[in-house]
Amino acid sequence: MSANREAETANQDIFDLVIADLRERDRIGWAQHNRPLRPHDGRNSLRDAYEEALDQAVYLRKALAEWESLADHKLHLRTETASIELSRDQADAFFDGKVLTIELSPAASKEIRDKLSEKLG
């Protein structure tokens, strides 16, 4: 997540974020189909939902495989002003907000956040 996106969402209610996402999906649906999603439209909603769930499972497994591949590696972040090395367990805890407090200058902090976003998506 980019630093800007993180700052935007830090204090937002999750339900508000989901509602915003739903509104965006509705906007996309209107743009593509020029009508809202309605019952009895000729589509098989169970099949559509099942196929979407399969897609979700694939993306979740891909993300797990990518994260698990860090198990034997350290995450190295080097910038002009700072250097951080995290094991996978430390990175897990860091992203869960449990440990690792580092005080850096605003410039170094931004560089580290940018590098994390770049490396971890």
In tens, the pLDDT along 26-43 reads 999 999 989 888 899 999
Please give the pLDDT value at position 65. 82
In terms of C-beta distances under 8 Å and separation of at least 24 residues, what long-range contacts does 109-113 make, across chains too?
Answer: 110/3, 111/79, 111/80, 111/81, 111/82, 112/77, 112/79, 112/82, 112/84, 113/2, 113/3, 113/6
For residue 40, which phi and psi values (nearest 5 degrees)? 60, 45
Within its chain, how far is the Cα of 89 from the centroid? 19
| Cα angle 3-87-89, degrees, rounded to a multiple of 5 | 90
Written as six digits, the tokens of 109 are 């902090």
Model pTM?
0.47
Residue 13 has pLDDT above 70, yes or no: yes
Q: pLDDT tens digits, residue range 45-103? A: 999 999 999 999 999 998 888 777 765 555 555 655 566 666 666 666 666 655 555 56
